[in-house]
Amino acid sequence: MASSAANGADTSPFPPPDALERAVLVTGLAPGTSEATLRDFFSFCGKLVALRTRDVPGGADAPDVPSSMEAVLVFDTPTARQTALLLHDSALADVRVCITPAAAGWSATPPVPPAAAAAASPAAAAATAAAPGGGAAAGGADAAAPPNAAAAAAAAASAAAAALPNPEAIRAFFARVTAEAARAAGALERNPVVTSVRAQAADVDAAYHLSARVAAAGALARTATAELTSGVVAAATTVDETYGVRRGVATGVETVGGVVGGVRDEAMRNENVRAAVGAVGGGVEAALGMGRAAVGAAWKGGEDLVRSFGPVVEHVAGVPPAGGGGAGAPPAGPTPPPTTTTPTTEL
């Protein structure tokens, strides 16, 4: 499929300069890939606002036979473009495609045949330099000496480390898996068998009113539950009103309280009971009085004991008794040094 520009329909630069941050370049497409296939493949990424495709010639041997196709897609947001870049190396129409950021002036740059592109790639240049007889130093006196065992082991370790997938590659892999799953789900939705089954199910539902009957059964069940609950409450209310259950319980509680009060009053009318209650009250009061007296006596005895120890404490501490010392007075302590007063000179 030739691009619009190639057919002369549109010669404006593509992608537009103000859309570069939203555009991707897809190369390695199978010849004849339709725009509908591209739109379906990238529908998971976001809204696609512009798309152009063009054929890539087959080289000198078959310049008129397209070897592949390439396309530039412009999305509505940079986020959609980032999602599309994660689909790099995914299978589209049974071939692996390369997805990279689109460059300015793509529509004005002729497509490069795959053979010429491979020859100009950095990987091809490196392979040429590493081949026997290749490179500036090949075959000369300055040719590099064979690496020793340590260098070979280090090179092997570096190659093994480089072969490990990095986090970006892992994230890109899972993004491709997610995109493939979404594409497969979309294809399943459009599958004729699934569409036919859904149509037949809709016809059966319309013929037998299954959805309406299920909804009616649900409503009937809810109504029956509400009526059953209401009936149970009404029956309980009827039993209560007929047999006075709550009123009987309240009356019973009140009667028991009256009986207890009557028994108490009747007992207090008996002289012996009143005398016994009075005796118990008097005994309790007497016991309280004795306790208060014992506490007071103990307190007074403690004060007397403290006062009796006063002279002993004063004697041990060397404090002379009132009225001065005497022959029996303990020796006085050391005399404090005299206080020296500095004379003040008046001006």
pLDDT in tens, 136-158: 444 444 444 444 556 666 666 66
Inform me whether the pLDDT recorded for 340 exceeds 90: no
Task: Specify which residues 299 forms β-bridges with.
Answer: none
Predicted local confidence at residue 165, as pLDDT: 52
Task: Specify which residues 41 forms β-bridges with.
Answer: none
1-120+165-190: CATH topology: Alpha-Beta Plaits (3.30.70)
Q: Write the DSSP symbol of residue 20.
A: G
∠ at Cα 100 (98, 104), nearest 5°? 130
- 324 versus 62: the higher-pLDDT residue is 62
Inform me whether the pLDDT recorded for 307 exceeds 50: yes
Rg (CA), the chain: 55
Report domain extents, the chain. 1-120+165-190
Predicted local confidence at residue 155, as pLDDT: 67
Give me 303's structure tokens: 């004060």
Q: For residues 52 and 60, what is the distance between their CA atoms, to the nearest angstrom?
A: 25
Predicted local confidence at residue 254, as pLDDT: 84
- 185 versus 169: the higher-pLDDT residue is 185
Neighbours of 282 (CB within 10 A): 10
Predicted local confidence at residue 59, as pLDDT: 64
Output the average pLDDT for the chain.
76
Percent of the chain with pLDDT over 90: 21
Task: Give 105-124 pLDDT, tens digit per residue.
Answer: 898 888 877 655 555 555 55
- 131 versus 111: the higher-pLDDT residue is 111
Inform me whether the pLDDT recorded for 169 exceeds 80: no
- 308 versus 325: the higher-pLDDT residue is 308
Classify burial at 85, counting beta carbons within 10 Å of its beta carbon; exposed 0-12, middle 13-18, buried 19 or more: middle
- 2 versus 166: the higher-pLDDT residue is 166
Inform me whether the pLDDT recorded for 174 exceeds 60: yes
DSSP H/E element including 269: none
